[in-house]
């Protein structure tokens, strides 16, 4: 945090966001490997999953030089980034499905426990008390429309 309580010049350091997100995830996945007891015959599927997970959160490399401005260049770059992210998400989904097939029911239960703890820790650090609270989850497009949940 900056001296006046706002963000400092380095972004959100005051909110536990320092460092490379890929490195933080890799550390957690390494611990998770031990906690759920990945065996040698499961290692290939585990490594594919961890690689896809880390790739999903990795920041794209910055170009060496800015491209010359062109008409709709910004729209093209935004679309290209979305396409690249979708490809990473698809790879993660496939790796997750393959790993799920390799794990035992006991290991899958341990994964649930580890994920729940990670979720709880994240929510407690990042304002889990804010948001919908007692009103329940955010309604989806098919949720009933009441006087307090009208569509805008």
pLDDT of 3 over the 80 cut: no
Helices H / strands E in the chain, number of each: 4, 0
Q: Report the number of distinct structural domains present in the chain.
A: 1
pTM for this predicted structure? 0.66
Q: Which domain holds residue 56?
A: 18-61+73-124
- pLDDT on residue 103: 97
Has residue 94 been placed in a domain? yes
Residues 6 or more apart whose Cβ sits within 8 Å of residue 8: 1, 2, 14
Residues 6 or more apart whose Cβ sits within 8 Å of residue 92: 49, 52, 53, 55, 56
Has residue 150 been placed in a domain? no
Has residue 28 been placed in a domain? yes
118 vs 89, residue with greater confidence: 89
Has residue 96 been placed in a domain? yes
* Cα–Cα distance, 21 to 54 (Å, whole number): 8
């Amino acid at each position: 945090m900056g001296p006046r309580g706002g963000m400092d010049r380095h972004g959100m350091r005051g909110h536990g966001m320092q460092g490379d997100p890929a490195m933080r995830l890799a550390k957690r996945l390494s611990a998770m490997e031990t906690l759920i007891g990945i065996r040698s015959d499961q290692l290939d599927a585990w490594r594919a999953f961890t690689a896809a997970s880390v790739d999903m959160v990795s920041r794209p490399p910055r170009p060496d030089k800015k491209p010359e401005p062109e008409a709709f260049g910004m729209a093209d770059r935004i679309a290209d980034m979305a396409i690249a992210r979708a490809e990473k998400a698809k790879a993660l989904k496939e790796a997750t499905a393959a790993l799920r097939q390799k794990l035992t029911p006991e290991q899958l239960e341990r994964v649930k426990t580890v994920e729940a703890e990670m979720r709880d820790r994240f929510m407690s650090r990042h304002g889990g008390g804010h948001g919908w609270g007692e009103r329940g989850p955010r309604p989806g497009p098919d949720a009933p429309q009441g006087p307090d949940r009208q569509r805008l």
